Amino acid sequence: MSVLLLAFLSLDPQCQRPDLVVHEAQRAAVRHGVPVTVILAAVMTETKCRNRVFRREWDGRCDIGLAQVHASCAEKRFYLDYRNNLTRAAEILSWSSMACSTRLRRTWQCKQTEWARYNWHSRSWRGSFRRWLRRLEDAIREKEGEV
């Protein structure tokens, strides 16, 4: 088992298919230039690694799957697939990161981007995302020490 998978499992032993989640997150991270730890921390923040989470929003669209991708409710089946959900999450994170880092780091402009709360370049992270990211990074260091 990989160190990343062991660390991720230590966050939530009840995670459904953690091997698939970690594998697809790694693939999406490489493709979109996003740290895999950021994707996994976003998954833990949004759903605690439960893939079937589905919520209808005020605008008639839905938050779907692991990373709670905001999309048309008609796309529910598509985004309940691990690969599609995590790929879309990585695309959004990559786009938000570029938007936040190329706008002269003006926080008010960064906050206008989708998922700006997951901008890992910012020192002003708040809330559960920061805690999940720190817990995952600490678990990785701990598991690397055991190997």
Check pLDDT > 90 for residue 10.
no
Q: Which residue ranges form the domains of the chain, and what is each CATH number?
A: 3-139 (1.10.530)
Judged against a pLDDT cut of 90, whether residue 130 lies above it is answered with: no
When pLDDT is averaged across residues 97-122 and rounded to a whole number, the result is 60
Residues near 9 by Cβ (< 8 Å), separated by ≥ 6? 15, 18
pLDDT tens-digit series, residues 14-31? 888 899 999 999 999 999
pLDDT in tens, 45-78: 888 888 888 889 888 899 999 988 888 999 999 9
* Contact present, 7 and 25 (Cβ < 8 Å): no
Q: Exposed, middle or buried by CB within 10 Å (0-12, 13-18, 19+), for 59? A: exposed
User: pTM (2 decimals)?
Assistant: 0.84
Does residue 80 register a pLDDT over 60?
yes
Residue 98 has pLDDT above 70, yes or no: yes
Asked whether the predicted pLDDT for residue 103 surpasses 70, the reply is no
Is the model's pLDDT at 109 over the cut of 60? Answer: no
Q: How far is residue 80's CA from residue 83's CA, in Å, rounded to a whole number? A: 9
- Answer whether 93's CB lies under 8 Å from 39's CB: yes
Beta strands in 44-136 (DSSP E): 54-56, 62-64, 69-71
Residue-wise burial string across 61-70, b where 16 or more C-beta atoms lie within 10 A, e elsewhere: ebbbbbbbbb
